[in-house]
Amino acid sequence: MFIIAKQLSLSEQLQYSTVRIECLENNKVVSTGTGFFYKFLEKEDGSYIPAIVTNKHVVKNARQGRFLITLADSSGGPDSTRYLPVMVEDFEKQWINHPEQDVDLCILPIGAIFNELSETNKEPFFIGIDKNIMPTKEQLSSLGALEDIVMIGYPNGIWDSVNNLPILRKGTTATHPNKDYNGKEEFMIDAACFPGSSGSPVFIYNEGAYGNGPGLIMGSRLRFLGILYAGPQFTAQGEIHVVNIPTDNREVVLSRIPNNLGLIIKAEKLLDFDAILRKHSFEE
């Protein structure tokens, strides 16, 4: 389950699960995307490999990259007005790609970055998503075709730059998350998916009560469903094409019109990285 920061509500904790990725050219931002913190190979003693997850196309051809890490205050909570920029050279080459070519996911292990911060008495504050909030097969089968979802990221690069916080958007599932849309381990959501949203984590998030078949359950529910990577758009000629959610506003010309649908890679595809991380000796 999520790390519980007692001073923060569950929705407030979700704000600290993402990071704004900037791809640079000569120190000038040329595109933005969304990444999120994930805890790979978590053990019973609480140790894990921290990494940032995003889409391959977000970092493609990027020679330089930058993201901001929020720092913890003296009580271990977030100090939202204190954050540290992290610059990475040869940016694209630092990411580990998903082994399947048509799965648009990549990860950046950041344990070394966190260790460097600790050596200078700076502690990062982040909320890492983990496999424990991925829905089980039983939980997926209990979902309806239409569920409320929350997507967290940086549409059009928009963010709260003073507090280093993302934008939270609501929508619904557009296809059943328990089905493989068009035979791929994906499903579709109905939400506004703008440039910069690529790599956004998508959750079922209910606070207070939620429906379960014909009944109503009191309490809160959080399920990590997957990662946004693409969406259908139609052209002025009426043709429909599935395209990656752009990272640069300039990539979207007026003849291509988004229709507020997004394609989501199912969260379970992240588990494919476990064997890769072991092979790369990230796990001692």
Mean pLDDT of the chain: 86
Place of tokens 């928009």: 158
Examine the pLDDT at 2 and tell me if it is beyond 70: no
- Of 60 and 254, which is predicted with more confidence? 60
CA distance 253 to 251: 6
pLDDT for the residue numbered 81: 84
Does 252 score more than 70 pLDDT? no
Q: What's the helix, strand, coil split of the chain in %, to 5?
A: 20, 40, 40
Q: How many CB atoms lie within 10 A of CB 255?
A: 10
High-pLDDT (> 70) share of the chain, %: 83
pLDDT average, residue stretch 237-260: 52
- Tens-place pLDDT, residues 155-178: 988 999 999 999 999 999 999 999
Nearest alpha-carbon partner for 206 in 216, 219, 190, 215? 219
CATH number for the domain running over 10-130+270-279:
2.40.10.10
Digit-coded pLDDT (tens) for 77-131: 999 889 999 999 999 999 999 999 999 999 999 999 999 988 988 999 999 999 9
CATH class of the domain defined by 133-267 = mainly beta
pLDDT digits (tens, 9 = 90+) for 38-84: 999 999 888 999 999 999 999 999 999 999 999 999 888 999 889 99
- Transcribe 103-130 into DSSP letters: S--EEEE-HHHHHHHHHTT--B----B-
Range(s) of the chain covered by CATH 2.40.10.10 = 10-130+270-279
Q: What is the pLDDT of residues 183-193, one digit of tens each?
A: 999 999 999 88
